[in-house]
Amino acid sequence: MQPIRLLFVCHGNICRSTMAEYVMKHLVEKAGMGDRFVIESAATSTEEIGNPVHRGTRKELARQGIPCGDHRARQLRRADANAWDYFIGMDSANIRNMKRMLGPEADGKIFKLLEFTGRGDDVADPWYTGDFRTTYRDVDEGCRALLAKLTDGK
């Protein structure tokens, strides 16, 4: 059985998408399903390429007891369209950019994280709000709902 490949995407790949990457990795490991998933993250912009996880994201993940690796921001590439099963964006602007960057090869693979909760709103960007706790709550809720959908609640 091939692992499910998830790529979380936001504007810079240092706050929201990295938070989602590490939250989802933590959830699947806790559920004993780590071998069933490949999980990473990427940016739609070039602004933060090579930069580490934002200190606010790192701090919030540590507060929640979630390990955070030595991730470095990278940009989404057209070649990713065929390499990943799901592209999970954090907001409407990410979704528009992902569709443009990935092209038709990614049709049916692009989703907004909070769609899985039934809400469908944007995950607020803590780069602007400074509120990493609210972002964490949204990311955690979205990742839990996504995991339930992908595993049929198992």
Q: Known catalytic residues?
A: 10, 16, 125
Query: In the structure encoding, which two tokens stand for residue 143, read together?
Result: 């990742």
Distance CA 111, CA 147 (A): 14
Please count the other Cβ atoms lying within 10 Å of the Cβ belonging to residue 101: 18
Q: Which residues contact 26 (CB under 8 A, 6 or more apart)?
A: 66, 67
| Contact of 53 with 16, CB cutoff 8 Å | no
Distance CA 100, CA 58 (A): 30
Please count the other Cβ atoms lying within 10 Å of the Cβ belonging to residue 26: 20
User: What phi and psi values does residue 18 have, to the nearest 5 degrees?
Assistant: -70, -35
